[in-house]
Structure 1
Amino acid sequence: MLVVNRFRAGEDPAGLRVDLELVHGLLAAQSGYAGGWVGRNVDDPDLWTLTTHWVNVGAYRRALSAYDLKLHGVPVLSRAIDEPGAYEVVEPGGVLNVAQSRVT
């Protein structure tokens, strides 16, 4: 599972970078984390991303329940651009999830 959170730096790009690196470190310490990075758009330097890869959706959701993530991560993640960010990794010929919204 792949999670892409995008952010606008606004007036404090250095502060956003520090925040994203902190949250990335907290996520990387969780069980089921498979990789990730902080990135900045090459054409629009105000646009940043925190991208993480997880063994499955359950691992990601459990990671967000960790105390340190609730305390330090959620306030940063709540500043992300409001758009869907969880993706399944598509393998050639693999069966995909049912194509329907999970919003209730």
Structure 2
Amino acid sequence: MLAVIRYSVPEAQSQEFLKQGQNIIETLQAQPGFLRGRLARSVDEPNLWALVSEWEGAGYYRRALAAAKMAMYPMMILMLHEPSAFEDVYVSGQEE
């Protein structure tokens, strides 16, 4: 399952956001079911960032969010409020 949380980050806050994003990924990484994570920035709109993580399932992701709530709290004002959990329906390039 794929989780995508997008943020609108003013340029003046980008360095602090990067540090906080790394902290969130490290917090999520310590949770059961975590597969991988990344923090990405739009090449077309530099104020748009995405915290992307992959999980063994939606239940793992939802429990990890509860565990990471304190790490995520300072960035919540920058978060775009939209659905963040996506179920894989087709994946290319993985070994069977």
Q: Same fold (TM over 0.5)?
A: yes
Tell me the alpha carbon deviations over residues 50-69 of structure 1, each in whole angstroms, 9 at most, x when there is no partner: 00000000001111222xx1
Partner of 2:47: 46
The answer to whether residue 15 in structure 2 is matched with residue 14 in structure 1 is: yes
Aligned to 1:14, the other structure's residue is in SS state helix
Give 4+ residue runs of structure 1 displaced > 3 Å after superposition.
none
Tell me by how many angstroms 1:36 deviates. 1.3
Summarize the Cα distance change of 1:77–1:89 in structure 2 as closer, same or farther, 3 Å threshold: farther
Give the alignment's TM-score, normalised by structure 1. 0.77
Which AA in structure 2 matches 1:57? A
- Whether the aligned pair in 2 keeps the contact of 1:23 and 1:76 (CA below 8 Å) is no
Aligned to 1:18, the other structure's residue is in SS state helix
Over aligned residue pairs, what C-alpha RMSD do you find?
1.6
After superposition, where does 1:1-104 map in structure 2 within 5 Å?
A: 1-10=1-10, 11-66=12-67, 69-77=68-76, 79-91=78-90
- Looking at secondary structure, tell me which structure has more helix per residue: 2
* Residue correspondences, number: 90
- Partners of 1:78 and 1:9 in 2: how far apart? 10
- Partners of 1:23 and 1:48 in 2: how far apart? 14
- Partners of 2:38 and 2:72 in 1: how far apart? 15
Tell me by how many angstroms 1:77 deviates. 4.4
Gaps of at least 5 residues in structure 2 are 92-96
Higher RCO by CA contacts (8 Å cutoff, separation 6 or greater): 2
Gaps of at least 5 residues in structure 1 are 93-104
Which AA in structure 2 matches 1:9? V
Summarize the Cα distance change of 1:13–1:20 in structure 2 as closer, same or farther, 3 Å threshold: same
